[in-house]
Amino acid sequence: MKKISSLLVALFISIFCFSQNIVQWRGENRDGTYNETGLLKEWPSNGPELIWHYDGLGVGHASAAVTEKAVYTSGTIGGTGFVIAFDHNGKQIWKTEYGKEWVESWDGVRTTPLIIDNKLYLMSAYGVIYCMNKDNGEIIWKVDVMKKYGGVNIKWGITENLAFHENKLFCTIGGNEHNVIALNKNTGELIWSNKGNAETSAYCSPTVINHKGKNIFVTQTANSILGFDVNTGELLWKHTQTNRYSVHANTPIYRNGQIYIVSGYGKGGVMLKLSDDGKKVTELWRNTDIDHKSGSFVVANGRIYGSVDRGNKWSCIDWNTGKTLYSANIFKSGNIIYSDGMLYCYSEAGEIALLEPKENKFAVKGQFRVPYGSNQHWAHLVIGNKRLYVRHGESLMVYNIGK
């Protein structure tokens, strides 16, 4: 008995020591699903309670990164980008300026901080990756991947929320020689590089999937969907995906051997089936009823939810068949997340709605207009600690959505 107890203690210590505290783009699995419970199923007529807001972020489209102790986001003032940390009462903990940020078109920082244990990572629109201490904002290392590895920037600036696996950070820099690269997340040094399909990047925030025990990095470039072995950088497969402007900003989602990807400007979504060994894909079906260029989509209970690129239509599509089950004109299209059985939709016109996805319709359970900020409503919603985080330009708003 004593031996078994000792083994259990050792196992607990091992799990505790090696587990990682991770906060990343669009939730734990980068799929827009937030694993919270005890959330309101209906909002008051004027929306949920506003707990606090901050109005000094400058321009930008970054969402919040929420940990147990703090809230992090990024902004741009006077062409200089910065990361800022708050406690959960809205008090600033630290603020670190990191350098030049995008002001050429649709001004401001594009990406949301990635947090792994005590480090915070961010890539600027000019392709400089920064690693900071999340507790005090000190810059630990930085690397200009465009200059160092011959990357090619794109019309509206690199817009990639960094993905990682174990000790590797991944980014798609779009060069001819170094197209997709993996860096050591502790040092910034190059681990592997692949020429990919020799296309520029496409604003995609990529993902890492586990398919039958094989870890695969999935991203999109100007005209292709690509899958790489995360350990070696080998290009496993590629699949053609084109649209009018070579913009493929949405993160792929994997379920049960299949990958679904949505592109905007009328292209819509494509469902791919992976071979058992993960070395090739087969196209199963396409549907254009969800095709928002950057609002992404969510998957719940075997159904896909999202909106059109332009217009007011929001749709529900069957994951297996690709058939549109129902659609509704709720409000202008935008981004979407999911938690505790409910859909949270943020329109480009500045309205936020709580929807219950029924068998054959959307039931609206609350709606309000974003009260602060300016310019585009492009930052994605975030849920953490029973709170809803809304970014609009220079403003960050935090709402109580717990019961």
CATH number of the domain at 303, please: 2.40.128.630
In a domain, 139, yes or no: yes
Q: Are residues 312 and 351 in the same domain?
A: yes
Q: Are residues 400 and 322 in the same domain?
A: yes
What HEC string does 30-78 produce? Answer: CCCECCCCCECCCCCCCCCEEEEEECCCEEECCCCEECCCCEEEEEEEC
**CA 98 to the chain's CA centroid:** 21
Query: Which of 116, 132, 147 lies at the terminal end of a domain, its last residue?
Result: 147
- How far is it, in rounded angstroms, from Cα 341 to Cα 305? 12
In a domain, 5, yes or no: no
Q: Are residues 45 and 79 in the same domain?
A: no
In a domain, 11, yes or no: no
Phi then psi dihedrals of residue 393, to 5 deg:
55, -120
Q: Would you state the structure tokens that stand for residue 139, as one six-digit string?
A: 């810059």
Report the pLDDT value the prediction gives residue 7, as an integer from 0 to 100. Answer: 39
Q: Are residues 307 and 400 in the same domain?
A: yes
Mean pLDDT over 252-277 rounds to 98
pLDDT at 353 over 60: yes
In a domain, 104, yes or no: yes
Range of the domain at 313: 40-58+295-377+379-403
Query: Which of 147, 178, 210 lies at the terminal end of a domain, its last residue?
Result: 147
Report the pLDDT value the prediction gives residue 4, as an integer from 0 to 100. Answer: 42
Q: What percent of the chain has pLDDT over 90?
A: 94
In a domain, 161, yes or no: no
In a domain, 32, yes or no: no
pLDDT at 12 over 60: no
Q: Are residues 70 and 136 in the same domain?
A: yes
Q: Are residues 71 and 51 in the same domain?
A: no
Q: Are residues 134 and 104 in the same domain?
A: yes
Identify the DSSP state of 20: -
pLDDT at 8 over 60: no
Q: Are residues 91 and 117 in the same domain?
A: yes
Band of the pLDDT at 196, cuts 50, 70, 90? Answer: very high
pLDDT at 172 over 60: yes
Band of the pLDDT at 320, cuts 50, 70, 90? Answer: very high
pLDDT in tens, 111-142: 999 999 999 999 999 999 999 999 999 999 99
In a domain, 135, yes or no: yes
Query: Which of 102, 123, 147 lies at the terminal end of a domain, its last residue?
Result: 147
User: How high does pLDDT run on average in the chain?
Assistant: 95
Report the pLDDT value the prediction gives residue 9, as an integer from 0 to 100. Answer: 39
In a domain, 53, yes or no: yes
Q: Are residues 49 and 136 in the same domain?
A: no
pLDDT at 1 over 50: no
pLDDT at 17 over 90: no
Band of the pLDDT at 20, cuts 50, 70, 90? Answer: low
